[in-house]
Structure 1
Amino acid sequence: MKAMLWLALMGVMMGAQAGEEDSTPCDNVDTDQQAYACAAFNRQTAERELKTALDELLQRVREQAASPAQASELNAGLQSAQTLWTQLRDADCKLETSRQAPGSKAFVAALDTCLAQRSDDRSEYLQSLAQP
């Protein structure tokens, strides 16, 4: 039950960050099934926003670089850093969810919530880079 409350709370918090959607699975989370759907929705939303943040940063770098060679070098470094960050995020979330039975709905929801949180944090970081 403690896990359900935690998931519902995270769903409400993450749902508020999801944007100006008309209706989301995070509206009125009252059951475990709704909490699981909310966690999945939050992960999908966070990963979509992360991709957008990275794409926008890569574009800013191309626009601000002194030369095409510099842009190419910086973009390669950003792609490498993103790959390493993704590996760290996944390892951290695996560790963080290790108390749950792998494959269970609770495990998937906890993993989705962790990945969403970390992805949101990374999106904010990427958005702060190379600002004009």
Structure 2
Amino acid sequence: MKSMAWLVLTAIALGAHAGEEESTPCDNVDSDQQGYACAAYNKQTAERELKAAFDDLIQRIRDQYPDEGEKVEALTARFQAAETLWTQVRDADCKVETYAEKQGTKAFQAAWDTCVAQRSDDRSEYLQSIGQQ
């Protein structure tokens, strides 16, 4: 139950970045079930934002080198390779973080979702910083 308290607090903190005007599963988390739903929502949101940050980065590259197709393709390939490696590291880190939870349980899934959401949020910020002037 100690890990559930941590999970609920983390889920609430991660859910706080959602806009106040929209209702999310992270509003008023009072039970384990609501904590699980919030963790899943945060993971889904963070992964969507990560994809958008990656797509924006590729567009910044295209905009920065409009007449240099080979350079754009080379940089895009490097970023795609880096993203693949980063995903592997993220998953390995999350396997370490969720080790104490029994796989297949809701607590494990919520801990996994929370870990992926946190790592994805960090990666989104990093991708957004690349090429900014």
Q: Smaller-chain TM-score range?
A: over 0.9
| Counterpart residue identity of residue 47, structure 2 | E
Q: How do 1:49-68 and structure 2 match up within 5 A?
A: 49-65=49-65, 67-68=68-69
Q: Which runs of 5+ in 2 are unaligned?
A: none
**1:98 alignment partner, SS class:** coil
Deviating beyond 4 angstroms after TM superposition, the runs of 4 or more aligned structure 1 residues are none
Q: How do 1:99-114 and structure 2 match up within 5 A?
A: 99-114=100-115
> For residue 47 of structure 1, what is the aligned residue in structure 2?
47
Q: Does 1:28 align with 2:28?
A: yes
Q: Contact 1:36 / 1:109 at 8 angstroms: preserved in 2?
A: yes
Identity fraction in percent: 64
Within 2, Cα distance between the matches of 1:119 and 1:67? Answer: 30
| Counterpart residue identity of residue 96, structure 1 | E
Within 1, Cα distance between the matches of 2:62 and 2:108? Answer: 40
Give TM-score scaled by structure 2 length: 0.95
**2:75 alignment partner, SS class:** helix
Within 2, Cα distance between the matches of 1:20 and 1:48? Answer: 19
Tell me the number of residue pairs that the alignment of Structure 1 and Structure 2 aligns: 132
| Counterpart residue identity of residue 109, structure 2 | V
Give TM-score scaled by structure 1 length: 0.96
Within 2, Cα distance between the matches of 1:39 and 1:21? Answer: 20
Listed one character per residue, the Cα deviations across residues 16-52 of structure 1 (whole Å, up to 9, x for unaligned) are 1234551000011011000000000000000000000
Q: Contact 1:18 / 1:42 at 8 angstroms: preserved in 2?
A: no
